[in-house]
Structure 1
Amino acid sequence: MKIIKVMKKLTVLKAFMVVLVAFAALSLTSCNNDSYEPVPVKLSDVNGNYRAKLITTQGNSRTEKVIDFSAKDTLITFKEFPIKEIVKAVVKDPVKTETALTAIGKIEYKLNYTPKINVENNVVELSFVPKKLTIQIPVDGATKQTVVTLSAKQKGLFIGQDWSLRYSLSAEKITVDGVELAPFEAIKYDFPYSLKY
């Protein structure tokens, strides 16, 4: 009697397993017919607020931090452009640099770009036209008019696959009260991964 009950249970279990395997095979077969169709990017896809990883390098010095910016209608706007390395290059003294940074506060910077769709790679290419950045740096009771020449040697990319924005800028030259700062090593600002939020 016990053997018959065990046999019935095994038969039901085997039938259930056959149905389960058949269902799994059918569902996997239907996946093989699916093909990934990327959503084509539009110029307006670049618009939005971003949180970015910023890597700043100058010579052997390298820092990383998270920074926010926005992009809209051919303009990237930084409400708080990273100026610490610029002020350090002008002031030299670490204590006076921190005092100057506190006095300056937040510096807004607007970066112009021209977008162009690259259909083949499903990206929006951004050609940048950086303007000079002017900062009034207070040091020892005086104010140093500092003009920073920024450049962007490579195009930026808005990637359609993961909807990220990637680009870089470089502070190539600094003049203080009309005199070019020398020696000066360029400051590079890399934004390897910026995501909308």
Structure 2
Amino acid sequence: MKIKKVLRFLMLAAIAVTGMSVVSCMDDEYMPVPVKLSDVNGNYRARLITSQGVKSNEKIIDFNAKDSLITFKDFPAGEIVKTIITDPAKADTVLAHLGKVEYTIKFKSKLNIDQNVVELALEPQVMAFQIPVGGVTKSVAVKMTAKQKGFYVGYDNSLRFVWEAEKITVGGTDVAPYQVIKYEVPISIKK
């Protein structure tokens, strides 16, 4: 009889404790830390998805955002070079000797308080570098465009944006036929 009373008491105590813990959690609300325009500035590690037609490639890259500029110190130019030089062996040789290609994207930022994000109006610049084509060094100009806004998300301190290589010109001549190369950073984490 005593054991039944003790068990009943323990069950009631467990139910009471569980009920109080559920009630105490009901008051907990997520209060986001408001973002500021300056929050965009920093060093990032990102997953870059590059796609051209049905071909897609992913790579982890680093970049910096500061003073309305996103700077890639070592931009992955593989798809661009492979579009210009269609022989895979020759393209790999050119890429091995190309070195680091630096690329910068300008942006204008605007605070969106309702969504707790900083919206980025991207203004991609023309990428320019030199490559050897047929034994001659030629200038490459890649016209970049951005058709949608980028975002700095306050919830996870990440930067997300998309842009495209709209046209490639080698030595003043447009590459034809040409299929647009799309660059997408779906998530990047501030280091």
Length-normalised TM-score, structure 1: 0.91
In the alignment, does 2:25 pair up with 1:27?
A: no
Quick check: 37-46 or 10-19, which moved more? 10-19
Q: After TM superposition, give the deviation of residue 154 of structure 1 in Å.
A: 0.7
**1:173 equivalenced with 2:170 (yes/no):** no
The amino acid across from 1:33 in the alignment is D
Offset from partner CA, 1:26-68 (integer Å, 9 cap, x none): 1211222222222111112112222212111111211122222
Q: Normalising by structure 2, report the TM-score.
A: 0.93
| Equivalence for 1:120 | 114
Residue equivalent to 2:98: 104
Q: CA deviation at 1:191?
A: 0.9
Q: Would you say how many aligned residue pairs link Structure 1 and Structure 2? A: 191
| Cα distance in structure 2, aligned partners of 1:73 and 1:16 | 62
Residues of 1 paired with 2:169 and 2:134: CA distance?
Answer: 18
Q: Deviations over 1:68-87 (max 9, x none)?
A: 21212211111111100110
1:53 is aligned to 2:57? no
The residue aligned with 1:164 is 158
Paired residue secondary structure (1:154)? coil
Q: Which amino acid aligns with 1:36?
A: Y
Counterpart in the other structure of 2:88: 94
For the residues of structure 1 that align with 2:7 and 2:148, how far apart are their CA atoms? Answer: 63
Highest Rg: 1 or 2? 1
Equivalent residue number for residue 69 of structure 1: 63
Q: In structure 2, what is the equivalent of residue 41 of structure 1?
A: 35
2 CA distance for matches of 1:187 and 1:196? 26
**In structure 1, distance between residues paired with 2:5 and 2:38:** 61
Gaps of 5+ in 1: 1-6
Shift of 1:95: 0.6
Contact kept, 8 Å, 1:130 with 1:151, in 2: the verdict is yes
CA distance in structure 1 between the partners assigned to 2:64 and 2:130 by the alignment? 24
What amino acid is the match of 1:75? L
SS of residue in 2 equivalent to 1:28: helix
Q: CA separation in 1, counterparts of 2:16 and 2:67?
A: 53
> Is the contact between residue 103 and residue 138 of structure 1 (CA under 8 Å) also seen in structure 2?
no
1:96–1:139 contact (8 Å) kept in structure 2: no
